[in-house]
């Protein structure tokens, strides 16, 4: 689930890879590094049941994920390091968030399995993409919308687990975003699989 510099789970060669070199420690890459540093902080806050602060960390992570991609594309700061670092940070945050929220009973384990199963579906395409050296399908609007909903919903669910005047509102909005995000996440996965299937058919057709 990423809207930053990185792509989806399946990786492969791309025709528009950024050149080697450039300023490695630019703002987008520093933001990705910040998300990596915050992963153990988030886990520690969950373990100590500081759910409000853990929700705030998730908000910061979501904002940085959005900002690093926008800044990188706007100012031409996309680097190969960023394309590797951004999805690594995202995957660690997604794993930590899903397992952590389920462990503290904020979300059910079957929801975790449903989201993991979608990524497993994408991973099954990796050998074919790798073998045929297919380009990476672009992240479409559905995938970006899924990311937005999930990254917005999980912090609200955490904040809704804390006693406050806004608890009911946070829970209602959080679950609405998570349900929409889960549906869109699977829809994006199906679209991605369809794109890979079409590229495989075109590649095999041109090889005949």
Using alpha carbons only, give the angle 74, 77, 28 rounded to the nearest 5 degrees. Answer: 90
Report the share of the chain in percent with pLDDT over 70: 85
Whether 119 shows a pLDDT value over 80: the answer reads yes
- Summarised one tens digit per residue, pLDDT across range 129-140 is 888 888 776 667
pLDDT recorded at residue 43: 92
pTM of the predicted protein model: 0.74
More confident residue, 195 or 8: 195
DSSP output for the chain: ---SSS--S-----TTPPPS-S-SS-HHHHHHHHHHHHHHHHHHHHHTT-HHHHHHHHHHHHHHHHHHHHHHHHTT---HHHHHHHHHHHHHHHHHHHHHHHHTTSS-HHHHHHHHHHHHHHHTTHHHHHHHTPPPPPP-HHHHHHHHHHHHHHHHHHHHTS-STTHHHHHHHHHHHHHHHHHHHHHHHHHHHHHHHHHHHHHHHHH-
Whether 39 shows a pLDDT value over 80: the answer reads yes
Cα maximum dimension of the chain: 66
Q: CATH classification of 27-207 is 1.20.120.1760, yes or no?
A: yes
d(CA 190, CA 187): 5
Contact criterion met (CB below 8 Å) for 77 and 27: yes
- Name the average pLDDT for the chain: 81
- Summarised one tens digit per residue, pLDDT across range 145-178 is 887 898 889 999 998 988 889 999 999 999 999 9
């Amino acid at each position: 689930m990423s809207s930053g510099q990185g792509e989806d789970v399946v990786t492969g060669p791309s025709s528009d890879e950024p050149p080697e070199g450039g300023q490695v420690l630019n703002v987008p890459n520093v933001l990705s590094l910040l998300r990596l540093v915050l992963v153990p902080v988030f886990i520690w806050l969950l373990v100590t049941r500081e759910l409000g602060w853990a929700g705030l960390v998730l908000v910061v992570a979501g904002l940085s994920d959005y900002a690093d991609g926008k800044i990188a594309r706007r100012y031409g700061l996309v680097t190969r390091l960023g394309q590797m670092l951004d999805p690594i940070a995202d995957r660690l945050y997604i794993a930590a968030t899903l397992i952590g929220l389920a462990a503290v009973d904020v979300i059910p384990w079957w929801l975790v399995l449903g989201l993991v199963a979608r990524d497993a579906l994408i991973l099954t395409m990796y050998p074919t993409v790798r073998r045929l050296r297919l380009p990476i399908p672009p992240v479409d609007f559905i995938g970006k919308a899924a990311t937005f909903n999930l990254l917005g919903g999980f912090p609200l669910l955490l904040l809704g687990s804390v006693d406050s005047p806004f608890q009911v509102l946070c829970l209602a909005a959080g679950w609405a975003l998570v349900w929409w995000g889960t549906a869109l996440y699977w829809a994006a996965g199906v679209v991605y699989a369809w794109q890979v299937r079409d590229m495989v058919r075109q590649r095999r057709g041109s090889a005949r």
